Amino acid sequence: MPGPAGDLEYDLALPKGDAVGAALVCHPHPVHGGTLDNKVAYMLARACNDVGLAALRFNFRGVGKSAGRFDEGEGELDDARAARNALAAFSPDKPLVLAGFSFGAAISLRLAVEQPPVQLVSIAPPLFYFGDEPIPQPDCPWLLVHGLADEVVDAQDTRQRLDTMAQPPAEQHWLPDVGHFFHGELSTLRRLVADSLRARFS
């Protein structure tokens, strides 16, 4: 699909039956091997399919077959914006969910502030990306899932940063002994996300 730096590679997974909405899933950090095929990003898409949502995963610029090169998060936000607009055109008048893992969670959070989705799903969001700036405050229901044994995004740091927010995520799941990539717990992640979305779309 067209992107601001050239074509973006994507995968659109459709649910069984008519879609009740659509979800955009953002993958982890491009420089550290993040792609649309990341297992957590894939499981997010499956959870969305489970509740009747079409799920669009895409590669940020410079990843896989996507044109361009890494742009420190700014160009990647533009990519996500283009993907969201394409998904909205594909599924007009249907509710939109934004979801992301790690770097992708930070991008989707920024995107949710610009144009609130019906729900935001953040998996291990690196809130330290925002430094001393206030964490963006989305005006939508917000689910956060984080492993307490995360070796990449420190869970305690995330909790402390959430405490500074006027409206932190209303739904938070902190999983004991779970690392950044949810090894052995992907099915748990899928269930938690699907249950939250199912409550939204029931």
Domains and CATH numbers, the chain: 10-201 (3.40.50.1820)
In the chain, the percentage of residues whose pLDDT exceeds 70 is 100
Tell me the C-alpha distance between 125 and 49, whole Å.
22
Calculate the alpha carbon distances from 12 to 46, 59, 162 in Å.
11, 12, 32
For the entire predicted model, the pTM comes to 0.98
Number of other CB atoms surrounding residue 133 within 10 Å:
7
Q: Give the burial string for 22-61 (b: 16+ CB within 10 Å, else e).
A: bbbbbbbbbeeebbbebebbbbbbbbbbbbbbbbbbbbbb
Tell me what the pLDDT averaged over the chain comes to.
97
Tens digit of pLDDT for each residue in 25-55?
Answer: 999 999 999 999 999 999 999 999 999 999 9
Assign 50 to helix, strand or coil. Answer: helix
- Asked whether the predicted pLDDT for residue 20 surpasses 80, the reply is yes
Tens digit of pLDDT for each residue in 110-152?
Answer: 999 999 999 999 999 999 999 999 999 999 999 999 999 999 9
Give the largest CA-CA distance in the chain: 46
Mean local confidence (pLDDT), 183-188: 98
